[in-house]
Amino acid sequence: MVATTTGPATEPHRPPPAGTRRRGRLRRFLDRYWYAYALVLPVVVVVGGLVVLPLAQGVFFTFTDINEGNIANPVLGREADYDVVGLANYLNVLSGDPAYGSFWAVLLRTLVWSGICVACHYGIGLGLALLLNRPLRFRTLYRILLILPWAVPAFVSAFAWRYLFNADYGLINWLLGSVGLPTPVWLGQSPVAMVAVIIVNVWLGVPFMMVALLGGLQSIPGDLYEAAEIDGATPWQRFTQITLPGLRPVSSTVILLGVIWTFNMFPVIYLITGQNPHTRILITYAFERFFSGATRDYAIASTYGVLILSVLLVFAGVYLRALRSREAD
């Protein structure tokens, strides 16, 4: 393994006699670097086994018609007999046909979901970070309380919220009812379910934003605020001219991460509303297609997976380029 990773060694040594040249170079290279390669090897094996291989297999499946009926099944003693179908899966999915999951409608819902969630995460997180960044009593206690949602496993909070949202016995409807407000069926087959999962996801995602932004706020030197104050800046101007630019490096990273995570936020939606078409986003549809239905359609599920990856790659690329050009100004 080590020997095969030999790249062109770029040492400015004078070349040894022709016959021993290759072996000598290899040996010198190994003498010098074997330890580094040995240390990297476990990671290469693990990442290769857990990420690269399944990804390659998934991409391969998108060009076949593989499903539960034609995959190799050692229990039944059945050989695999799926066929390569070329781009048929992509054409079917991208046509937006409801039989293939209404791709464009679900993509739109995913984008709306991600946009609203990340906007709320960032806005609320920044507000809380600003509050916690000023000296006040019990600050540490507040910080711990606000980080708590982050520390609870996602499925635990999902089930807790399901009880809270229960139409008949839930705390939320009890509260709404007691002040005379309407008590909707939160988790039913209606767009209200989307509102419910967005609330839960915002609750879950705010702590991360808050902690990251609090760190960002603390890295802004205090004398910049003093200089701005002397220069005559109002509190709002200090916020827009010092705080926001100072947070930019942190903000750009956490927004990118937030979008990627929310785009693929499976547990909140699936554990709270299950297979509800009103809360269906791309990742939950891929899961439904893979694990349920008359025939478990591995090919279409994989196609969705590859499309999700592509959307996120394009987004990240455009986003980073926009950031870079803005920084260059």
Partner 1 sequence: MAGVSYVKASRVYPGNPPVRAVDQLDLEISDGEFLVLVGPSGSGKSTALRMLAGLEDVDEGAIHIGGTDVTHTPPKGRDIAMVFQSYALYPHMTVGENMGFALKLRRVPKETIKAKVAEAAKMLDLTPYLDRKPKALSGGQRQRVAMGRAIVREPAVFLMDEPLSNLDAKLRVETRANIAALQARLGTTTIYVTHDQVEAQTMGHRVAVLKDGLLQQCDTPRNLYEQPANAFVAGFIGSPAMNLKTVALTSEGAVLDGLTVPLPRSVVAGHDAKTITFGVRPESLRLAGGDEAGMKLTVDLVEELGADAYVYGSVDIGGTSERFIVRTDGRTPPSIGSTVTVTLRDDNEVHLFHPETGARLETTKAAPTA
Residue closer to partner 1 by CB (options 141, 230) is 230
Stretch that binds partner 1, among 200-208, 231-239, 272-280, 301-309 (CB under 8 A): 231-239
Exposure string for 193-211, b = 16+ CB within 10 A, e = fewer: bbebbbbbbbbbbbbbbbb
**Smaller CB separation from partner 1, 246 or 277:** 246
Residue 328 interacts with partner 1 (CB under 8 A)? no
- Cβ proximity to partner 1: between 147 and 224 the closer is 224
CB of residue 301 to partner 1, shortest distance in Å: 45
Residue 90 DSSP one-character state: H
The piece of 58-66, 137-145, 238-246, 300-308 that touches partner 1 (CB under 8 A) is 238-246
Closest CA to 196 of 164, 169, 150: 164
Q: Which of 93, 118, 206, 242 touches partner 1 (CB under 8 A)?
A: 242
Phi then psi for residue 223, to 5 deg, are: -70, -15
Instruction: State in angstroms the smallest separation of the CB of 132 from partner 1.
Output: 23
Q: Using the rule CB under 8 A, give the single segment among 24-32, 127-135, 181-189, 240-248 that binds partner 1.
A: 240-248
Contact between residue 202 and residue 117 where contact means Cβ atoms under 8 Å apart: yes
Which is nearer to partner 1, 168 or 223 (by Cβ)? 223
132 binds partner 1 (CB under 8 A): no
Cα gap 112→282, rounded to integer Å = 12
* Strand partners for 84: 64
Are 3 and 30 in contact by the 8 Å Cβ rule? The answer is yes
Residue 232 binding partner 1, by CB under 8 A: yes
- Residue whose C-alpha is closest to residue 252's, from 108, 118, 145: 118
Which residues bind to partner 1, rule: CB under 8 A?
A: 221, 223-224, 226-233, 237, 241-242, 245-246, 248
